[in-house]
Structure 1
Amino acid sequence: MSLIIDGYNLLYAAGLVGSVDGEGSFEGERRALLDALLSVIDPKELPQTTVVFDSANPPPGLPRTVHHQQITVRFATGYADADEMIEELIRDHHAPKRLTVVSSDHRVQRAARRRKAKAIDSDSWFRLMRQTRKRIREQEAKKPPPPKQPSASVPNAQVNEWIKFFGEIDLDELAPPETSIAKITPRKTPPTSPPPGDQTRPSKQTSGNREPETGEGKQGSPNVFTDDYLKKIADEFFGTNE
């Protein structure tokens, strides 16, 4: 919704004339009015709000169009008065049905209605805006506060509670029982079969126990025959005994 406001007309209707000390100018009153508008106009409508002042006493050294935060402020330089400039703005507005003109001047109100724009007296509009903003603030005050975000740090009281709780637990009871190596029975490894083609003769086994082999052919095997007996056999076999 766009707004065009007759600045001095609203200044008198809002009772702001003489509220600020000035030296023969309305500069202080203009600023007070613009600040008041910031408090009553919906923030979304501020960029579409234009306040027009007569150019009898414009601020010295300022351009004819200035901005008070998001509000556009125009001084009717080159026009007979602010009403004439407002009429031109109404004629040139691209969407007059979405336009509200704030002025108690009947001439301005007729110009707005000719273009299907809404016209409202300055005092009625200002009173309505103040009531609306007050109601919005009261509704916002009744809203529950947003949930608090969890704090990154843990309060000391909470830490103490944890220490108290976990300190009563015997950690040794929670640990798994230790297994003694001596109690572990080694697993029997089954005998491996010789690979195909291996000509090694397997050892004899009796009742699952291997028999010890005798003779000199086995390294480390004890000789069960005495030297005298072996010599006697050799003499008889080779005929060396005469």
Structure 2
Amino acid sequence: MAKDRTTPTRTAQIVSPALWLLIDGYNVLAPTAPPRNPGANWLHQERMLLINRLAEHLDSETRRRTCVVFDAANPPRDRPHRFTINDIDVVFAIEYPEADDLLEELIAAHPTPKTLAVVSSDARVQTAAKRKRCRSFDSQLWLDDLLDGNVRLAVDPAPTQPTTPNRIKPAPPSESDVADWMREFGFDEN
């Protein structure tokens, strides 16, 4: 990673214990080849297709804990390098030679890496994830699972509501109930 480290606060702003899912954006889009005569917006449309798929298949808590990183090539002109769409953090690696450099930095800086899932088919990114004991997933397999309704993360999202209702402790049994049960199980004093 031969990058001037003049912006450590940007990484700190992106990485938090709350981050569950880190996605190598163009790596997930890689199976999509550009059209023969691509229009001016084809790459933007592909990025938005990915973001919309994520928004459709991830629950609201997971969306808020997801970051998609794209190389700086062709970032949207009307947006800053980092913004949120459908609660998903989108970052363009504008101060890095490529997104892999930023992804490695984000993985290394994560305070609770065992809770982080990294989606990339890039060996370099997968190695960085394994070094920090993050879960890593191949991009195409992860996306196929996502589209089939199987969201693969490093953690199980906590249910938003309790799974069991609040229960009131039952009253202790009466003496006659205890006597009835004692007789039932053969502990009769007679």
- TM-score normalised to structure 1 length: 0.51
In 2, Cα distance between equivalents of 1:26 and 1:12 = 11
Q: 1:47 is matched with which residue?
A: 64
Following superposition of structure 1 onto structure 2, how do residues 220-235 of structure 1 map, counting pairs within 5 Å? none
In 1, Cα distance between equivalents of 2:67 and 2:89 = 5
Find the residue that maps to 1:53 and give its secondary structure: strand
- Contact 2:20–2:62 at 8 Å: present in 1 too? yes
Q: 1:91 is matched with which residue?
A: 108
- Contact 2:34–2:42 at 8 Å: present in 1 too? no
Q: 1:65 is matched with which residue?
A: 82
In 1, Cα distance between equivalents of 2:144 and 2:119 = 12
Displacement of 1:76 in angstroms is: 0.3
Following superposition of structure 1 onto structure 2, how do residues 1-242 of structure 1 map, counting pairs within 5 Å? 2-13=20-31, 15=32, 18=35, 22-23=39-40, 26-132=43-149
Q: Which runs of 4+ in 1 moved over 6 A?
A: none
In 1, Cα distance between equivalents of 2:41 and 2:147 = 29
Displacement of 1:133 in angstroms is: 5.2
Q: 1:179 is matched with which residue?
A: none
Displacement of 1:132 in angstroms is: 2.4
% of aligned pairs identical?
40
Displacement of 1:51 in angstroms is: 0.2
Displacement of 1:40 in angstroms is: 2.0
Q: What do the CA deviations read for 1:140-191 (whole angstroms, capped 9, x no partner)?
A: xxxxxxxxxxxxxxxxxxxxxxxxxxxxxxxxxxxxxxxxxxxxxxxxxxxx
Find the residue that maps to 1:67 and give its secondary structure: strand
Instruction: Name the larger-Rg structure.
Output: 1
More relative contact order in 1 or in 2 (CA 8 Å, sep 6+)? 2
Displacement of 1:69 in angstroms is: 1.6
Displacement of 1:24 in angstroms is: 6.2
Displacement of 1:43 in angstroms is: 2.6
Structure 1 stretches of 5 or more lacking a match? 135-242
Residue correspondences, number = 131
Q: 1:147 is matched with which residue?
A: none
Displacement of 1:42 in angstroms is: 2.9
Structure 2 stretches of 5 or more lacking a match? 1-18, 152-190
In 2, Cα distance between equivalents of 1:5 and 1:118 = 12
